Structure 1
Amino acid sequence: MKKIKIFTLTALAASCLATSSCTKDFEELNTNPNETVAATPASLLAPALHDVVTRNNNRALRLNNELMQVHATILDSDEIHRYVIRPGESDYMWNNWYLQRTNFVDIYNGALITQQKSFMGIGLILDVWVTSQITDMFGDVPYSEANKGRDYLLQPKFDAQETIYKDLFAKLEEANALLAANEQMKDNEKAIDPLYAGDVVKWRKFGNSLYLRLLMRASGRPEVNAPAKIKEIVETNPGFYPIFASNEESAILKYTTTLPLVSAFTNMRDYDFNGSHGLTEFFVNNLNAMDDPRITRWATLFGTGYYGIPSGYSPGNIPDRQSSYHLALKNEPLLGNIINYAEVQFILAEAALRGYIGGEPKTYFDRGTAAAITMWGVEVPAGHLAKPAVAFDPAADFEAKLEKIMLQKYFTLFFTDFQQWHEYKRTGHPVLPIGPGVQNGGVMPARFRYPVYVQSLNGANYSAAVAAMGADDINTKVWWNK
């Protein structure tokens, strides 16, 4: 039998696939003539999925958590909490998301050849998941012509985000239909599925729950009629669109302390994980006000209590660090969260609040609030849902009710790539305090700039994208946010 080799790509290859003008010599230099570059769909799944989740965790710690006031740096030179985002921050995410998208596309294409419906569906779901992260971060990006470096399509056009989203929805429809066949994996394939151990029904629920996340994100744009689709999934045809029904069905890549499924932070110095920043007043004070038991899992005591520092403080006025991340989080399995049951309940609470579906928003809100706590292995305190800082008041005005939903969702999205940031951009909730040192006019960045090298390696298509979308600036809103 011929040896099967997983086709892996360097960052340079990723840039070729997405945006560059690399030459055909790259393939000749990097191909072993004695091995094939083909890989079975099952063999690609674990390494590609693990790579995206761990790199997302890395950037959640560096970027999202500081932008969204989970923590604030105590290094005065780091200005992310002041809304200063340098162009170089984009490269890491762009390169690695595109790199692993190639593997997710290959999962689908390989399964298409062998007619493995389950892996075709899984490949589509993961393609949608990583592509949504790329376009939500940057806006218009290479898509229809991207990840085709092997075909020497090395300067792909940028597709409009509206077009991308419509195709992502089509892929999730196809994935749901494929997984509806309930074609079971082989035992050896189940053994290397790190997410659901071959449970095809749970993969299907993952795809449809992701569908709800993206539909809600685009629900303000009439071009896609997202509210009608949300209603179909939840009310009109729920049997065909199963979604998460419990914490146990959540899409969480649960880290272990042994290779290969180790956390992004396993080998990180303790100082880099929790010594160069402290949890913020916003993060800690809200948990304290709710008497939320998750604080014991997330934060260290400072003296006899939990205390935070201000975000957006003025240069030179560095606060003394107080509570910080528990070091146990470095190997916490739940930091591998992709999308969980509680998040879906908060999506449904918002959908009910906006009138997209029937039912009481409070029902979904209470269910999500409780599930978000028990997911972390702690009990919901007696009377928790009736506490003033927690309770959902049906008589409150729209913005007050949305604030309640989005505050709980904010904590549910703890260390979930950039989801807190995207939801804040979309809704303006939860309301964050603006410190005296915040720049950019006190306005939360709307996107990140394209990587600098894209301008030189794919200049014509870059220029066309900027002309269509607006300035390549952190304040240019993406399609669903306009």
Structure 2
Amino acid sequence: MKKIYIVLFALAITFSGCKKYFDINSDPATPQDPESKTLTPPLFAQMERGIQFDARYIGGTIQYFGGAVNVGENHGWLRNSDALGEIWRTNYYGLGANLNLIISDSQERQEYNYVGMAQALKAWGWQITTDYHGEIILKQAYEPNRFVFDYDPQSDVYAEVVRLANESIANFSRTDGVGTPAKMVGFDLAYNGDASKWIKFNYGLLARNANNLINKASYDPDKVIEYVDKSLASNADNFIVPNAGSTAANANFFGPQRQNMQLYRQTRIMAGLLDGTYFTGTAGTVIDPRRANMLTASPDGVFRGTLPNSGDPGTTAGLNKIPNLWGVLDGANPGIGQGKYLFKDNSGFPIMTYAELQFIKAEAAFRDGNPGLALTAYQNGISASIDFVSALGTVITPAAKTAYMTSASVRQTAATLTLSDIMLQKYLALYGYGFIETWSDLRKYNYNVGDTKGNNPYFPSFVFPATFSADNAGKPAQRHRPRFNSEYIWNVAAIRAIGADKDDYHTKKMWFTEP
């Protein structure tokens, strides 16, 4: 080691004054101090990637996807694998330090809108990661020179989301500094620098955060309603990550070019919601105008779907095979630019929508004993969802929309509205994108357990698979484990401390679902 120091000292004397030989950080092609704007566009792709990768599994658990494709449908997990760990990777690696760099750089430059954007994305990252994994690493996450990390309780993460969202709102509300919307145009792929929309997004995060706490004594439905009223005001405020779809590199992960979803089938619960079965009790009584855009009929013209952890029971001869999410049979690739709804190459991916927020408001108002307000928000959510779906496929005519909105599938009076109506319409509206929010709803209402008579008052059409994974001990999944490669190899002591070394850890209930 001493010889190395002597050699370096000699070289330093020989080349003193010759800066170009030693100042490797001055290479303009590889800047070590990048501006916030150069770090920003990839962040949105990371958000989409994290959810969509893990949606291949969680989509089966919540029954948006079927076909007995993987362990998600029987609520299981994969040993020694990073599968189901992409949200973790997104939060800590894809966003993580990049957001810290943006905050530091932008504070120094007094570009407070970039600070606010980074804080909003950090809040989103913490919320979605804790809702997916439970206890996670928060306080020590980015401490330098640390190689092992302690886990923090979910309550601390929820509090941090609130802090960050409020700080983001404050930064987007500042009138000092040099940050302008123009400086974010072309780099902010969601809102193009519109501070008012970022503020609404933050209030949407606060609404999600507060509405997950229905089982806590601190739950405040009035506060949830306040947050929603300050959040997304229409579909024009939706947070959508765009996808060009011209090549596999810039195409939607769910689209045909990426070939990730060939074997995933549409599900029985979605078919039943869209043909009126689970709203009126009779299939075909009221056909939802969204159905043709969201699902595909079998060759015999009947819309079908799989049961959880079941393959396709149809036969080619019987013309009753169940299509996949692209609208084709047997995993065939429909070709570039084809597919449907959110499963097309160029479909953007929603991170948050106005429809979702209206259903959150409806739920809070109903729980607050204000059925009139709940009815209005519930109908607003359905209407917004129809408009959203219409924009992604065959246009839904005003007449078709009106016919559905005044049908037996949609409650017309406050006296007839139930919490089940609200939650099922929300479940339907979030199909294909609201995976973690839907899973949070299912878990906070204890899945399909219902009352002592076995009735599920919230999701009556949701049924468990015939058998759970062998590791589950007869219990449904409540969380997913921390990412294998970073935690089960390098952070084993911390894993043991939270019980994540146990085979059935993924069935341990979340803090937010408990009283």
8 A contact 1:81–1:311 mirrored in 2: no
Kept in 2, the 8 Å contact 1:74–1:319? The answer is no
Find the counterpart in structure 2 of residue 64 from structure 1.
Answer: 58
CA distance in 2, matches of 1:438, 1:117: 49
Q: Please state if 1:97 is matched with 2:91.
A: yes
What CA distance in whole angstroms lies between the structure 2 residues aligned with 1:175 and 1:83?
36
SS at match of 1:252: strand
Q: For the aligned residues, what is the CA RMSD?
A: 2.9
Quote the Cα distance in structure 1 between the aligned partners of 2:256 and 2:199: 34
Secondary structure in 2 aligned to 1:338? strand
Q: 2:158 aligns with which of 162, 165, 171?
A: 165
Aligned match of 1:345: 358
Alpha-carbon distance, 1:258 to partner: 4.2
Q: Deviations over 1:171-226 (max 9, x none)?
A: 1111112212267525353122111111111111111112111110124323x554
Pair 363,64 (structure 1): closer, same or farther in 2 beyond 3 Å? same
2:272 and 2:63 map into 1 onto residues whose CA distance is 11
Q: Which has the higher contact order (CA 8 A, sep 6+)?
A: 1
Q: Quote the Cα distance in structure 2 between the aligned partners of 1:307 and 1:443.
A: 31
List per-residue Cα deviations over 1:290-341 (Å, max 9, x = no partner): 5222222222221253422332356x88555413323244436554100100
- Measure how far apart 1:53 and its partner are: 0.7
- Is 1:464 aligned with 2:497? yes
- Tell me, yes or no, if the aligned pair for 2:358 and 2:377 is still in contact at 8 Å: yes
User: Which moves more between the two structures, 97-106 or 359-368?
Assistant: 97-106
When residues 426 and 208 of structure 1 are mapped into structure 2, their CA distance, relative to the original with a 3 A threshold, is same
Residues 392 and 32 of structure 1: CA distance in aligned 2, closer, same or farther (over 3 Å): farther
1:235-277 residue CA offsets vs partner (Å, 9 max, x unmatched) = xxx6xxx31111001111132224775322456455x42x313
1:337–1:415 Cα contact (<8 Å) kept: no
Specify the code of the residue in structure 2 equivalent to 1:414.
Y
Alignment partner of 1:251 is 2:251: no
Could you tell me how far apart the structure 2 residues matched to 1:408 and 1:119 are?
A: 36
Tell me, yes or no, if structure 1 residue 262 matches structure 2 residue 251. yes
Tell me, in whole angstroms, the C-alpha distance in 2 between the residues paired with 1:357 and 1:119: 39
How far, CA to CA, are the matches of 1:226 and 1:86 in structure 2?
A: 38
User: Does residue 1:433 correspond to 2:463, yes or no?
Assistant: yes
Q: What are the equivalent positions in structure 2 for 1:348-363 lying under 5 Å apart? A: 348-355=361-368, 360-363=373-376
TM-score norm. by structure 1 comes to 0.81
SS at match of 1:309: coil
**1:121–1:179 Cα contact (<8 Å) kept:** yes
1:83 corresponds to 2:79: no
Give 3-state SS (helix, strand or coil) of 2:401's partner: coil
Q: How many residues align?
A: 433
Deviation sequence 1:101-140 (CA, Å, 0-9, x none): 2222322222222221111111111001111111111111
Alignment of 1:46-445 (within 5 A): 46-60=41-55, 62-75=56-69, 78-87=70-79, 88=81, 89-99=83-93, 100-148=95-143, 151-181=144-174, 185=180, 187-222=182-217, 224-227=218-221, 229-233=223-227, 242-258=230-246, 262-266=251-255, 268=257, 270=259, 272-273=260-261, 275-289=262-276, 290-312=286-308, 321-326=321-326, 327-328=339-340, 329-331=342-344, 334-355=347-368, 360-376=373-389, 377=391, 378-379=396-397, 381-391=401-411, 393-396=413-416, 401-416=418-433, 417-427=435-445, 428=447, 429-431=458-460, 432-439=462-469, 440=472, 443-445=475-477
Q: Normalization by structure 2: what TM-score?
A: 0.76
Distance 1:472 1:105, change over 3 A: farther
**In structure 1, what residue type is equivalent to 2:405?**
L
* Counterpart AA for 1:476: K
Shift of 1:90: 3.5
Matches of 2:506 and 2:46, distance apart in 1:
26
Unaligned runs of 5+ in 1: 1-30
Conserved in 2, the CA contact under 8 Å of 1:91 and 1:451? Answer: yes
Query: Using the alignment, how far apart are the partners of 1:353 and 1:115 within structure 2?
Result: 44
Q: 4+ residue stretches of structure 1 with deviation over 6 A? A: 469-472
Equivalent pair of 1:112/1:120 in contact (CA under 8 Å): yes
Residues 334 and 245 of structure 1, relative CA distance in 2, 3 Å threshold: farther
Report the structure, 1 or 2, having the larger helix content: 1
Aligned mates of 1:472, 1:98 — CA distance in 2: 25
Deviations 1:420-469 (A, max 9, x none): 212211123433023434454664310012334424412332233339x9
Q: Partners in 1 of 2:502 and 2:413 — Cα distance?
A: 40
Structure 2 residue matching 1:337: 3-state secondary structure: strand
* Distance verdict in 2 for CA 1:146–1:208, change over 3 Å: same
Q: Which SS does the other structure have where 2:189 is aligned?
A: coil
User: Following the alignment from structure 2 to structure 1, what is the Cα–Cα distance between the partners of residues 493 and 304?
Assistant: 47
Identical-pair percentage:
21
3-state SS in 1 of match to 2:193 = coil
CA–CA separation in structure 2 for the residues paired with 1:476 and 1:444: 9
- Contact preservation (8 Å) 1:175, 1:204: yes
How far apart are the structure 2 equivalents of 1:253 and 1:357? 35
